[in-house]
Chain A
Amino acid sequence: MRIVNPGFGLTPAGAEQATEGKVDWLNDPIVLFGNSKPNARELLEGVKAKLAGIRRTDNIDFVAKNSASQGAPLEMINDAAKKYRIALLALGD
C-alpha cells in the first residue's frame, strides 16, 4: 500500500554545508556570545578568566542577545563575524 510521507520536506535553496577557516587559538579575537539566560555571562566570563593563563585575553569580548527567547539580531551576528575569528556560545539553560 502507498501512503504520503507526513515528514516529507525539501531542503531550502542555498542550504549548503557550512565551512570554517583555520584560526590561531592563542591570538585570534574571541567573542563570548551569551544567550541572556541566568549564569550564561558568569559561565563565559569564568572561562575567559581561566584563559588568561594560556592565551591573550585583551581581545576577548562579551556580547549578548537582548532576549533569551529570540534569536540574536542578524546585525549582531554579522558584526561579530567581522570582528572576531572565534565564537564561544552559551546555549540552553
Chain B
Amino acid sequence: MVGVVIATETFKPLVLAQAKARKVDPHLIVVKHPVGGLNAEELVERIEAAFAGFQQEMNA
C-alpha cells in the first residue's frame, strides 16, 4: 500500500519527525496553513494545491 499524506506547512515538521520515528518515508503534500476554519471559497485553493501534489505523486 502507498500512503500519501496531506499536511499544512505548520504540521510538516511533525509529520517528518513522526515518519522518521516510525521508519516510514511518506509521500507528503504540503498545503498552506490552515485548512480548518476556512469557508468553501477559501478552501478551493487548498484543494487545488492538494490535487496538484497528488498529480505529482502519480507522475513521479
Question: Which of A's residues lie within 8 Å of B, judged by CB?
Answer: 15-18, 20-21, 23, 25-26, 37-40, 42-44, 46-47, 50-51, 54-55, 81, 84-93
A-B contact count (CB 8 A): 102
Whether the pair A92, B8 counts as a contact (CB closer than 8 A) is yes
Instruction: Tell me the chain B residues, 18-60 only, with Cβ under 8 Å from chain A.
Output: 22-25, 33-38, 40, 43-44, 46-48, 50-51, 54-55, 57-58
* A86 cross-chain contacts in B, Cβ below 8 A: 1-4
Whether the pair A85, B1 counts as a contact (CB closer than 8 A) is yes
* B51 cross-chain contacts in A, Cβ below 8 A: 46-47, 50-51
Q: Which single member of B38, B40, B54 contacts A88 (CB below 8 Å)?
A: B54
Can you identify 14 A-B contacts, CB atoms within 8 angstroms? Answer: A18-B22, A20-B1, A23-B2, A37-B35, A40-B35, A81-B1, A86-B4, A89-B4, A90-B35, A91-B6, A93-B8, A93-B11, A93-B33, A93-B34
